[in-house]
Amino acid sequence: MNSDLIEIEAAESSSISLTDLLARRGHPLNARCGQRGLCRGCIVDLVGGELIDADGGKVVAGASVRSCRMRLPEGGRAVLRIHSQARISRAPQVGETFFIDVPCELAPSISWETGRDTGFAVDIGTTTVVVLLADLKTGEVLARAGDFSAQIRYGDNVITRIGAASSPATRLEMRRALVEETLAPLLQKACKRASREISRLAGGTIAGNTTMLHILANEDPTSLGIAPFTARFLDGRILQSDDIGLGGAMPIRLLPGLSGYIGADITAGVHATGMTLDDMPSLLVDMGTNGEVVLCANGRLVGCATAAGPAFEGAGLSFGTRAQDGAVSGIRFRLDPFLLETESIGGHAGLAGICGSAYIDFLATARDSGLLRENGRFDRAKWAEIPAQHRIENDEGFSFRLAGNDGPSISEIDIAHLLQAKAAIGAGIETLLTATGIRAAEIGRVYLAGGFGMHIDVPYAIAIGLLPGFRAEQVRVVGNTSLAGALLALLDRAALVEMESLRSRIEVIELNLQAGFEDCYIDHLSLP
Amino acid sequence: MSTFFELSRAVEGGKRNDAKQITQSLLDQGIKPLEVVEQGLVPGMSAIGEKFKNNEVFVPEMLIAARAMKECMAILEPLLADAGIKPKFTAVIGTVQGDLHDIGKNLVAMMLKGANFGIVDLGTNVPPEKFVAAVQEHNAQLVCLSALLTTTMPAMRTTVQAVRDAGLTSVKVLVGGAPVTQDFCDEIGADGFSQDAASAVDLALRLAETY
């Protein structure tokens, strides 16, 4: 089951490119070379039907093609798989796409009847909320909608949110902000997109981190902020929509969590990736402010959370931003001969800032070319070889300017912050593997989840040690698996049982208490 | 022939293998362990600490340097103990109850060792009564509390209270950690706050002198 499989039929004029046709049908692709057939930004898999290539030749199912070089035959149809990387991101980037690789049966966990036959699956993140509507009769995904959470105004990180929610009155206000200002409008938007009355909603499922679900259930999350991070509940409870201010007299199932800081979002990911069914050891890495890592090997399920901080989401960096229109999302850099290319979201000028994926590109390519030393400093001799317009030297130190006179730049302080974030994740993965006696090479598959993970260049992430010791072939980018798991729990009640059973299996490792973690973390502060 | 200057440079540059080698070779040359600490390690850590305060070096380099120093200290500490060298002051240090983040605390502990403090490191998630007991047992002049989460900062207040309630009125309590501020320090009745590990050493020395 792949959420990105779409069917498309020819336009009136058969001369337009498949890229243009897809854009018209609401699937804009990353045509960063301007549809010149030079880049690999718009590659799609042809799953069914036929296409005509630039020379007029026929292309049949099974091929991967640059859609800018293709068109549909007159009156023709084609079934395409669009890879997440090929899609142009739009603001806000909320990880609406994902990959599901587990058997799923249509036996909804929410009961339905004619006239009330639509279910919703929700991922409530600390930063963003994504909603997906599905037909409970057919299992078809009808519409998606996502937005930043209105709860952000109570703090942009989970710890601040826990602090705020320890006051019962504030906790209710926080729930109201989330439900009434974000969730309800998103459900309305999704219903509108699906052309269904809101009264057809029968209920839904919600995945999210443990803190978000505590606030939603009006449970005091205070203990989640203090070791040993005990949750007041982890079981998959059922809320009534009226009780949380959503209205509509519907049941809402919260997905079960695994531990205080390995929440239902990760349960969802473990299930949706199908990693527990793999024959070889597998690893789930959910890249976010708290990068969670779960290893499944030899019948064991071991997890930890890393304190990565929000650097890769752009926070605390001089030009850092979340993925949004106009943000630089990719950088190609070479010193000799000098080359600097940037890609930006939505094809705009790239003045809105720099997002995490671009910082990773820069760390990898600048290190490879020798401009960056292993300590994250610009090599002073190589620095002098860079064209003057890219060099900023002032009281703040050295900064590499990407473009323009006041365009975004990357400073050595930014790099230090990024190194700390990548060290937290890299050392977390390595420590977890060491603690369980598994080597990176023994892992069959690394499932890289999360909105940010969706856009990173995997070989570069490996090169800088963010995914230490892996090969690109091991890594599968799986997108928002929290949402994927919520959808599975909605459509297949057996999934919920499966998820509940994961909790009794999980062993949680506290990284800070692992001998050797600090040493490993300090090792990872350098660039390989 | 290795020199103190080489050792300082190796520590400052975070070159732990070089630093250990130089430490050993200084000892082999017959130099007293205390001199190696005071003239080799401490100047190196002070130099990088100073640069850190001035924003010329950042957290990663600071941690890498501290590790180099720590590994040298591991060679030197038993020798110092054998030689009967007693530190001038004693500080009890730990992360407060509920907090497991200890990298910042470890950095401060290392810097204080370099400044010839005897360190009683209680580790992470330390309950107030354990701080109190350690102060009493070791006759410490200082207690250093670390908290990295806003959710664990209240435990600093209870720890300060416990220290005072135990009648340890002359003991100085230092607080630090990312979310901690001077205002918070004043509010909970702690004796001092510092923004970074290098400043913590200056503050610790100042407060210990007034014990």
pLDDT digit string (tens) for A514-528? 989 999 999 999 999
Tell me, what's the pLDDT at A86?
A: 65
- Given a cut of 80, whether residue A292 has pLDDT beyond it is yes
**Residue A387: helix, strand or coil by DSSP?**
coil
Does ipTM come in above 0.85? yes
pLDDT of residue A90: 36
Chain B contact for A521 (CB, 8 A cutoff) = yes
List the domains of chain A with CATH numbers: 5-86 (3.10.20), 118-265 (3.30.420.480), 274-310+419-524 (3.30.420.40), 311-417 (no CATH)
Residue A2 has pLDDT above 60, yes or no: no
Could you tell me the two tokens for B51?
A: 């640069």
Measured between CB atoms, does A375 come within 8 Å of chain B? Answer: yes
Confidence of residue A92 (pLDDT cuts 50, 70, 90): very low
Query: Shortest CB distance from B60 goes to which of A222, A376, A510?
Result: A376
Measured between CA atoms, how close is A163 to chain B, in angstroms? 6
Region of A129 on the Ramachandran plot (φ > 0 left; ψ -120 to 50 alpha; else beta)? beta
pLDDT recorded at residue B130: 98
Confidence of residue A93 (pLDDT cuts 50, 70, 90): very low
> Could you give the C-alpha distances from B92 to A516, B45, B145, in angstroms and in order?
23, 21, 9
Pair type for strands B89-95 and A77-82: unpaired
Q: Chain A contact for B67, CB < 8 A? A: yes
Given a cut of 70, is residue A308 above it in pLDDT? yes
A129-186 pLDDT, tens digit each: 999 999 999 999 999 998 888 898 888 788 889 999 999 999 999 999 999 999 999 9
Q: What is the pLDDT of residue A94?
A: 43
The pLDDT, as a whole number, for residue A221 is: 97
Q: Which residue has the higher pLDDT, A83 or A436?
A: A436
User: What pLDDT was estimated at residue A447?
Assistant: 95
**Per-residue pLDDT for A466 more than 80?**
yes
Residues 146-175 of B with CB under 8 A from A: 149-152, 155
Beta bridge partners of B192: B174
Count of CB pairs separated by less than 8 Å, A with B? 68
Q: According to the model, what pLDDT value does residue A84 have?
A: 60
Q: Do residues B114 and B42 lie in contact, with contact meaning Cβ atoms separated by under 8 Å?
A: yes
Q: Transcribe A281-334 into DSSP letters.
A: -EEEEE-SSEEEEEEEETTEEEEEEEE--SGGGTTTSTTB--S-TT-EEEEEEE
The dihedrals phi and psi of A325, each to the nearest 5 degrees, come to -55, 130
Could you give the CA distance from residue B180 to residue A15 in angstroms, rounded to a whole number?
Answer: 64
Q: What mean pLDDT is reported for chain A?
A: 89
What integer pLDDT is reported at residue A91 of this predicted model? 36
By the 8 A CB rule, do A476 and A448 touch? Answer: yes
Are the C-beta atoms of B75 and B82 separated by less than 8 Å? no
Q: Taking residues A423-432, what's their average pLDDT?
A: 97
Domains in chain B: ranges and CATH: 4-82 (1.10.1240.10), 89-209 (3.40.50.280)
pLDDT tens, position by position, B56-103: 999 999 999 999 999 999 999 999 989 888 888 999 999 999 999 898
Whether residue B59 and residue A420 make contact (CB cut-off 8 A), yes or no, is yes
C-alpha dihedral (B108, B114, B116, B121), degrees to nearest 10: 40
Q: What angle do CA B105, B106, B111 make, to 5 degrees?
A: 100
CB < 8 Å to A423, chain B? 60
Confidence band for A453, pLDDT divided at 50, 70 and 90: confident
CB–CB of B98 and A226 under 8 A?
yes
Q: A98 — phi, psi (to 5°)?
A: -165, 175
Q: Chain A interface, mutation test: which of B12, B17, B51, B58, most A Cβ atoms within 10 Å?
A: B58
Helix (H) or strand (E) holding A361: helix A356-368
Residue of chain B whose alpha carbon sits nearest to that of A227: B98
Fill in the DSSP letter of residue A182. Answer: I
d(CA A208, nearest CA chain B) in Å: 20
Question: Mean pLDDT across the stretch A79-87?
Answer: 73
Query: Using one digit for the tens of pLDDT, what is the confidence trace for A12-48?
Result: 666 788 887 887 776 767 654 456 565 566 788 898 8
pLDDT, position A270: 96
Shortest CA gap A154–chain B (Å): 14
What is the per-residue pLDDT for A3?
43
Average pLDDT over residues A225-244: 96
pLDDT digits (tens, 9 = 90+) for A329-340: 899 999 989 999
Residues of chain B scoring pLDDT < 70 = none
pLDDT-based confidence at A56, cuts 50/70/90?
Answer: confident
* Residues 6+ positions from B5 with CB-CB distance below 8 Å: none
A249-282 residue pLDDT tens: 999 999 999 999 899 999 999 999 999 999 999 9
Q: pLDDT over 90 for what percent of chain A?
A: 63
Q: Name the maximum alpha-carbon separation found in chain B.
A: 54
What pLDDT is stored for residue A16 in this prediction?
82
In a mutational test of the B interface, the residue from A162, A375, A431 whose CB has the highest number of chain B CBs within 10 Å is A375
pTM equals 0.83
Query: What local confidence, expressed as pLDDT, does residue A40 receive?
Result: 62
Omega within 30 of 0 (cis) for the link into A528: no
pLDDT at B85: 83
Listed residue (A13, A9, A83) closest to A43, CA to CA:
A83
Mark out the alpha helices in A194-286 (DSSP H runs): 210-216, 264-273
Give how far B40 is from chain A: nearest CA, Å: 22
- What is the reported pLDDT for A30? 62
- Within 10 angstroms of residue A58's Cβ, the number of other Cβ atoms is 9
